[in-house]
């Protein structure tokens, strides 16, 4: 039996992270688009890794449980990488909440039940969670601790309280951070660690959809006026993920790491600050 990496979301960020931590391990990759997962798996396998691709819909608890069950056929899950999600330009409000919010919550909970002792995980969130005003301690706790099957019933997540797809995405990413904090306590019982990373504009196919979408000018302006003056790369996110997933990051759990070239700083205190 091998040490297993469970990886959801067959994109550039997930692949960059898997390359850092996946050598010598069995990698199980789940993605809603099986052809996409198989394409990424082929790239990885031709580079010396061992990847098996599966069709997985993370908006479905049953699909998530099936992927975990398949992974366990090869050994214990030692690392977890969740890079699955949809962007504000790719999906309507209900799908964003079902995938990015509910699906992530289910993954964190279910993987946490089976992660190998001493194992580590990382979920990819977004800088968007930082741009929304504070929701208050009560709503934060609801997002962190509400049972997964009741999450989408929370008042704050009802259609009349959500302005648009960007707002839904921000709520999902805020929930991701709170959920990671709560799950870190549970993962700790297995001496395992879970953290989240909130990237800014990273050049990926998903980001390119945004650049060419209705908010394209907004995003281009964002990275042009951030301190770094450019978008980031998947490998830069992977460098951070490798740290928090490795023994060097043994004291890091329940945390979220903003990696956005200073865009959020510029949003609050620089040229990206909204004009009233």
202: helix, strand or coil? strand
Dihedral (CA of 235, 238, 242, 243) sign = positive
Distance between start and end Cα atoms, the chain: 59
DSSP assignments along 100-166, one per residue? IIIIHHHHHHHHHHHPPTT-EEEEE--GGGGSSPP--HHHHHHHHHS-GGGGGGSGGGSGGG--SHH
> Catalytic: 163?
no
- E strands present in the chain: 2-8, 26-31, 50-55, 75-82, 120-124, 193-199, 256-259
Burial classification of residue 274, based on how many CB atoms lie within 10 Å of its CB (0-12 exposed, 13-18 middle, 19 or more buried): exposed
Instruction: Indicate which residue of 74, 173, 178, 219 is catalytic.
Output: 173
> Catalytic: 169?
yes
Instruction: Indicate which residue of 25, 169, 178, 219 is catalytic.
Output: 169
**Which of the residues are catalytic?**
169, 173
């Amino acid at each position: 039996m091998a040490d297993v990496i469970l990886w959801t979301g067959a994109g550039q960020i997930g692949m960059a992270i898997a390359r850092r931590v996946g050598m010598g391990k069995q990698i199980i990759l789940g993605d809603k688009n099986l052809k996409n997962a198989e394409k990424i798996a082929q790239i990885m396998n031709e580079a010396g890794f061992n990847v098996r691709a599966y069709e997985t819909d993370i908006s479905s608890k049953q699909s998530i449980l099936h992927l975990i069950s398949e992974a366990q056929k090869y050994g214990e899950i030692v690392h977890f990488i969740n890079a699955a999600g949809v962007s504000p330009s790719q999906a309507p409000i209900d799908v964003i909440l079902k995938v990015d919010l509910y699906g992530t919550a289910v993954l964190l909970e279910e993987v946490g039940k089976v992660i190998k002792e001493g194992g580590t995980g990382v979920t990819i969130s977004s800088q968007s969670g930082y741009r929304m005003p504070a929701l208050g301690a009560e709503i934060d706790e609801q997002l962190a601790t509400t049972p997964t099957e009741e999450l989408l019933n929370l008042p704050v997540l009802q259609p009349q309280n959500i302005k648009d797809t960007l707002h839904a995405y921000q709520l999902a990413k805020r929930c991701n951070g709170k959920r990671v904090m709560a799950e870190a306590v549970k993962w700790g019982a297995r001496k395992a660690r879970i953290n989240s990373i909130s990237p800014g504009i990273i050049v990926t196919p998903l980001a390119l959809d945004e650049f060419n979408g209705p908010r394209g000018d907004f995003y281009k302006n964002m990275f042009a006026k951030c301190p770094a003056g450019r978008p980031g790369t998947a490998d830069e996110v992977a460098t951070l993920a490798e740290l928090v997933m490795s023994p060097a990051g043994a004291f890091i759990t329940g945390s979220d790491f903003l990696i956005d070239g200073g865009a959020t700083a510029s949003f609050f205190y620089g040229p990206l600050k909204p004009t009233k």
